[in-house]
A and B are shown apart, each in its own frame.
Chain A
Amino acid sequence: MKTFGLVIILSVLATPVAAQWVSHPTPGIPRTRDGKPNLTASVPKTPDGKVDLSGLWQRISPKYRRNIAADLKPEEIQSWARTLVQERQEDLGKGHMSVQCLPWGPSYTTSERLFKIVQTPGLILMLDEGLSYRQIFMDGRPLETNPNPSWMGYSVGRWEGDTLVVQSFGFNAETWLDSAGHPHTEALRMTERYRRRDFGHMDVEVTFEDPAVYARPIKVPLSAELQPDTELIEAVCNEGGDRNLEHWVGKASDEKASSIKVAPEILAKYAGSYVEQDLWGPGPHPRTIQVTVSDGALFAELSNRGKVQLSPQTNTTFAGFFGWSLTFVTNSQGTATHLLEMHISGNYRYSKTK
């Protein structure tokens, strides 16, 4: 009886994962003695002696994917562009390609999207779960001088030693360069440099040049980590139709309008360092939130992302944290023991460490 029940439970729970290649072992990769992928093994080469960048990669780009102009001074950005960013942030990013279900364009390279590189001698492909692709031509052809503007642009690449250098041009002006809403024009030129450091790690540097908007080239460093033993999972953004956007009524200023005053003694008991317990996102982990009080207001700084002023909605719930809300959970003395980062998919807990 017991054995029969065991078999039923195992087969019911095991089937969903096995059916999707979600955890299918990648063939032919170096492994340690216990069978785990060896991510520090040496860089693989193709038969013609080039570095092989093929594989499923997760980009890690916490700072610049939010704000491509993080290192620029305001006067280095055209004022119309700065105004546009403010409007887009007031709309909480409703016009972003990921919300409108459009291809990402140039900021694809500085995003945190999972992507698959397929490398052949004359062509390198980048494949996306949303069914976008990029072709990087390695056959020596020059970039089009008068291209028809397109979403994913036109790209040519070459090897500089072990670094892949890609030049792109011919983007339409429909996309944002980050989630804050920094724009670009059709004159944008993009250069990418990919260097695979070891089997599991790649350094990336993307440079954007668009003098019509930005006074100097913007250099974006980021990295990518190999994701072995799993696969791309198709995710078609607009298969749900308009259902998600019909609820999108909030503006960033709503929260300031509905904010209340919270007594300083209460705020003081929230100050401290919080460390994430429920992991989400590509990392680096663990993410931390530093909460401070200044001039009667509560501020929160998310690791690698910057500091924002929070907007109290109740004595325990605060809005204005990068589009999320934070709820503080306290003990009987009113001192916070942890906080909840409120996402659409649920609440992610951070424990207070000090």
Chain B
Amino acid sequence: MKIKAVVVMVGIGLLLAARPIVAHHAFAAEFDANKPIKLTGAVTKFDWTNPHAWIYIDAKDDSGKVANWGFELAAASGLMRSGWNRFSLKAGDVVTIEGTRAKNGSNNANAQTVIVASTGQKLFAGANQGQTP
């Protein structure tokens, strides 16, 4: 009981530390809001970079075929202000990611939500992505 309360309090503290970051990438330039996608798979690479961090997972599509998918996140510096870091995800971690697909048809999407499969924990929430042109 005590442990749960402390975890919640520290989590709120991390969210309050969130600060804005400016990166001018238009959602509409890269992603199609009409093409939602939700995949579960093991992380192959976690690119902790600016202006966008990227998560790559090996996921099975509906036909059972495994392919590598890339998901675009907020800037690493913005994620850092929200309390996340380069160890927040590691190769081998299994995650479920929801997003919308890249307009160019590639195996890419943005990451609206990233959930750790085993615990249900939501990762990278609270990162403020900045304004677009």
Q: In A251-279, which residues have CB < 8 Å from any B CB? A: 252, 254-255, 279
* Interface locus among A10-18, A202-210, A213-221: A10-18
Interface pair A324/B132, CB less than 8 Å apart = yes
Residues A247 and B49 in contact in the complex (CB < 8 Å), given A92-B29, A93-B133, A345-B73: no
Neighbouring B residues of A96 by C-beta, 8 Å: 24, 133
Tally chain B residues at the interface, Cβ within 8 Å.
63
Interface pair B22/A98, CB less than 8 Å apart = yes
Interface pair A93/B132, CB less than 8 Å apart = yes
Q: In A217-254, which residues have CB < 8 Å from any B CB? A: 227, 230, 233-237, 239-240, 243-244, 246-250, 252, 254
The count of A-to-B residue pairs whose CB atoms sit within 8 angstroms is 204
Neighbouring B residues of A324 by C-beta, 8 Å: 26-28, 132
Q: In B1-58, which residues have CB < 8 Å from any A CB? A: 2-3, 6-7, 10-11, 13-14, 17-31, 33-34, 47, 49-52, 54
Residues A344 and B129 in contact in the complex (CB < 8 Å), given A98-B23, A99-B25, A314-B34: yes
Interface pair A23/B131, CB less than 8 Å apart = no
Cβ distance B33 to chain A, nearest Cβ, rounded Å: 4
Cβ distance B94 to chain A, nearest Cβ, rounded Å: 19
Secondary structure of the B side of the interface?
loop
CB-based nearest A residue for B5: A6
**Which single member of B51, B74, B84, B128 contacts A279 (CB below 8 Å)?**
B128
B85 within 8 A of A: yes
Interface pair B33/A92, CB less than 8 Å apart = no
Interface pair B34/A10, CB less than 8 Å apart = no
Additional A-B contact list (17), CB under 8 Å, known A66-B133, A345-B127, A346-B129: A6-B2, A9-B7, A13-B14, A16-B83, A58-B19, A92-B29, A114-B22, A179-B24, A244-B30, A280-B20, A281-B128, A325-B28, A342-B112, A343-B132, A344-B73, A345-B73, A345-B129
Residue positions of B touching A, CB distance < 8 A: 2-3, 6-7, 10-11, 13-14, 17-31, 33-34, 47, 49-52, 54, 72-78, 80-81, 83-85, 87-88, 100, 102-104, 106, 108, 110-113, 125, 127-133
7 smallest A-B Cβ distances: which pairs? A93-B133, A323-B26, A179-B133, A345-B129, A345-B74, A280-B128, A325-B33
